[in-house]
Amino acid sequence: MGLTRLRLTVGGQVQGVGYRWFVREQARRRGVSGWVRNREDGAVEIEAEGEADELKAFVAAIETGHALARIESLASETLDAKGEESFEIQT
């Protein structure tokens, strides 16, 4: 299978609780590349790339797995793969 890339926008209580670090750890555990950053509107934006099964597990983990975050919305858009090799926190 080929790589898939998603742009995810996560809304709710996701800033100031360590959520970006949690997202990075989940990506690295699953071999997902890309980045995560806070947006000025209080949401967190993620671009994640990997095999379909890896991405599915990644999205499930970031939607439900962080103890301090409260996810109220998660929007997803499919993008063209870029072939990135790491997952980073952007500032």
The H or E element spanning position 33 is: strand 33-38
What is the strand order of the sheet 33-38 is part of? 70-79, 4-13, 44-50, 33-38, 87-89
- Angstrom distance (rounded) from CA 9 to CA 21: 16
Residue 29: active-site member: no
Q: Burial level of 17, CB count in 10 A (0-12/13-18/19+)?
A: middle
Choose, from 5, 20, 24, 30, the residue flagged as catalytic. Answer: 20
Choose, from 5, 28, 30, 38, the residue flagged as catalytic. Answer: 38
Residue 70: active-site member: no
Q: Which residues are catalytic?
A: 20, 38
